[in-house]
Amino acid sequence: MKILIKNAKVLTMSGEPIERKEIGIENDRFTFVGNAPEGYEADIVIDGEGHIAMPGIVNAHTHSSMSLLRNYADDLPFWEWLTEKVWPVEEKMGPEEVYWGTMLSNAEMIRSGITAYADMYFYSAETAKASLEAGLRCSIAQGLIGSSDKDKEKLEATRQLYREWHMTGDGLITVMAGPHAPYTCDDAFLTKVIELCAELNLPIHTHLSESEKEVKDSLEKHGRSPIQHMNHLGLFKQHTLAAHCVHLRDEDFEILRENQVHVVHNPSSNLKLGNGISPVSRLLLSGVNVSIGTDGSCSNNNLNMFEEIHLAALLAKGSTRDPAVLPAYQALEMATKNGAAALNLGSETGKIQTGMKADVILVDLEQPHLYPHYQLDASLVYSAQASDVRTVIVNGKIVMEKGELKTIDLEKTYYEIKRITNKLSN
């Protein structure tokens, strides 16, 4: 299948100026970016007039099935929210709930221009199944909570997940290990996780230094911050995606940089739960790769990455009192190529470049809030809305065209969500 996108202004995220170019896609990859070869014939021609074509957005940290808990437990302190509200209702959730929660989130993510996401939850095979059906790129991680003397079967479940799902769907699905956090996994269990990851060369997706309490408890128990302690255990020897990293000590920045840990900034979730603001500008200046995620819909309460990009840029400026910090283009890097790197996919996606995977979205510039078109990267960060995304292509396949979802039956999804949430609320 050959697709030609013509007449669009193109943001490649390769450091090139935004200008009108043609984009060729064959099967799952970009074949040219510039002018179509003479005599080129495409099976599908997409007229991008009045649009900007850009790499698909990468949501580098979420719990997609938590869309079932959207607006379920709001305006509560973090630890009360987590232990008294979220964990108890999650006990009622099984494979069916995870599948439909993921499908609902996939519809929302596609509509907002997300083409790839990193997910940590349970029943991850159902997340993979729903993502394949929706046509989204997804890095799944089975959430691991426990101690080594009781939970050997959880490690085996991750091994099985890797065997059955890694690189399936023409590479759409990849697998990470998901130790939830240092405060939910004891040292012996974490050591077993690290050993498994070394054996399988498996990346790690975890939460780190999200709250003040987490850091305080770690200092009291181990004499080290959570990041220092994970470094001590050897967790960072593997490719690590670390969500949040809000409360950092001076020593933590160098540890993250030296170990090439990929930090995921979750501005809405951190704000809503009262956990603070991640020191993103200092992390970037320290040489740490920082991406952006939404976290789950129970703590956000949406999966709108354009909102997260906007917030990330404004929070960096406001917290440092420097309006030049985190300019628009750098914020877009965090949401595209930095996110791809965090998912261990930096050589495959995150840019519009010949030979890379064809993950691309078209954003409608013909909107009042996007006129005039002075500086389009700034328009995308400070003005664009998720609803401005009109067409989404993942792995060379059109999953949304002119606002119409091509792979998800929304009516059926809504029906199942109503049925499931009625059960969960009783």
What pLDDT does 422 receive? 92
- Condensed to tens digits (0 to 9), the pLDDT of residues 107-130 reads 999 999 999 999 999 999 999 999
Give the pTM: 0.97
Which of 342, 371, 386 is where one domain is finished?
A: 342
Q: Is residue 347 part of a domain?
A: no
What pLDDT does 426 receive? 74
- Condensed to tens digits (0 to 9), the pLDDT of residues 243-280 reads 999 999 999 999 999 999 999 999 999 999 999 999 99
The reply to whether 259 and 207 lie within a common domain is yes
The pLDDT of residue 159 is above 70: yes
What average pLDDT does the segment 186-209 reach? Answer: 96
Burial of 327 (0-12, 13-18, 19+ CB in 10 A): middle
Backbone dihedral angles phi then psi of residue 40, each to the nearest 5 degrees: -65, 130
The pLDDT of residue 150 is above 70: no
> Do the strands 360-364 and 389-394 form a parallel or antiparallel pair, or are they unpaired?
antiparallel
The reply to whether 360 and 259 lie within a common domain is no
The reply to whether 22 and 92 lie within a common domain is no
Parent domain of 242 = 57-342
Q: Is residue 298 part of a domain?
A: yes
Question: Which has the higher per-residue pLDDT, 154 or 181?
Answer: 181
The reply to whether 179 and 138 lie within a common domain is yes
Which of 342, 374, 395 is where one domain is finished?
A: 342
Percent of the chain predicted with pLDDT > 70? 99
Residues 32, 94: Cα–Cα separation, whole Å: 44
What average pLDDT does the segment 407-425 reach? Answer: 95
For residue 82, give the DSSP letter. Answer: I
Tell me the pLDDT band of 197, cut-offs 50, 70 and 90: very high
The pLDDT of residue 347 is above 80: yes
What average pLDDT does the segment 34-56 reach? Answer: 97
Of 225, 147, 139, nearest in space to 180 by CA: 147
Q: How far is CA 417 from the centre of its chain?
A: 23
The reply to whether 263 and 174 lie within a common domain is yes
The reply to whether 51 and 62 lie within a common domain is no
Q: Is residue 326 part of a domain?
A: yes
The reply to whether 328 and 385 lie within a common domain is no
Q: Is residue 242 part of a domain?
A: yes
The pLDDT of residue 148 is above 70: no
**Mean pLDDT (the chain, rounded):** 96
Q: Which residue has the tokens 């959430």?
A: 143
Q: Is residue 377 part of a domain?
A: yes
Percent of the chain predicted with pLDDT > 90? 96
The reply to whether 173 and 273 lie within a common domain is yes
- Condensed to tens digits (0 to 9), the pLDDT of residues 161-177 reads 999 999 999 999 999 99
Overall domain count for the chain: 2
First to last CA, the chain: 48
Backbone dihedral angles phi then psi of residue 218, each to the nearest 5 degrees: -65, -40
The pLDDT of residue 153 is above 90: no
Backbone dihedral angles phi then psi of residue 103, each to the nearest 5 degrees: -65, -40
Q: Is residue 141 part of a domain?
A: yes
The reply to whether 11 and 115 lie within a common domain is no
Looking up residue 188, the CATH number of its domain turns out to be 3.20.20.140
Residues 180, 204: Cα–Cα separation, whole Å: 10
Q: Is residue 421 part of a domain?
A: no
- Condensed to tens digits (0 to 9), the pLDDT of residues 56-66 reads 999 999 999 99
What pLDDT does 273 receive? 94
Tell me the pLDDT band of 146, cut-offs 50, 70 and 90: confident
The reply to whether 236 and 138 lie within a common domain is yes
Q: Is residue 173 part of a domain?
A: yes
The answer to whether the CB of 144 falls within 8 A of the CB of 193 is yes
What average pLDDT does the segment 362-380 reach? Answer: 98
Residues 20, 49: Cα–Cα separation, whole Å: 9
Comparing 38-47, 151-160, 365-374, 401-410, the range with the smallest average pLDDT is 151-160
The reply to whether 215 and 104 lie within a common domain is yes
Single-letter amino acid code for the residue at 256: L
Angle at 235 between CA 293 and CA 177, to 5 degrees: 55
- Condensed to tens digits (0 to 9), the pLDDT of residues 277-292 reads 999 999 999 999 999 9
What average pLDDT does the segment 37-55 reach? Answer: 97
The reply to whether 157 and 39 lie within a common domain is no
Looking up residue 391, the CATH number of its domain turns out to be 2.30.40.10
What pLDDT does 149 receive? 61
